[in-house]
Amino acid sequence: MSVPWRKLKDIEIAILARRRTGKPDLKSEWQRLHKLFDQCQMADDAEDAVCFHGVAALLAERKGELELALKHRIIEIEKIVWLHEEERRNPTDGFQIQNYGKAELEYRREIVRTLQSQM
């Protein structure tokens, strides 16, 4: 069975976009996110995937587990920064940082600051 990383990332991006614009959550997105995360977290490369940590953070935030959410957000940011560095070294016309541009990176940093202020 193939690991549905792309589907997981797409739902994560949709949830973050909805949150960023102040739109209400969709229960169906969260249900699908849980199901896909359960499938993806079993993969050998799960810890290497940016979206694994992004989704783990979303799920922890939703449960009120702020320390765990913060941990995963920080790892996610480190991985995104690494992708930006890789893009500078080996340009791919932005393919490597697709959905992880400067604005998205800054939004995740805002989330970290918010989590830190809530602890």
Predicted TM-score (pTM) of this structure:
0.92
DSSP 42-97: TSTTGGG-HHHHHHHHHHHHHHT-HHHHHHHHHHHHHHHHHHHHHHHHS--TTSTT
**Per-residue pLDDT tens digits for 74-85:** 999 999 999 999
**Per-residue pLDDT tens digits for 4-32:** 999 999 999 999 999 999 999 899 999 99
**Per-residue pLDDT tens digits for 102-116:** 999 999 999 999 999
Q: Where are the domains of the chain?
A: 5-118
Instruction: Identify the DSSP state of 3.
Output: -
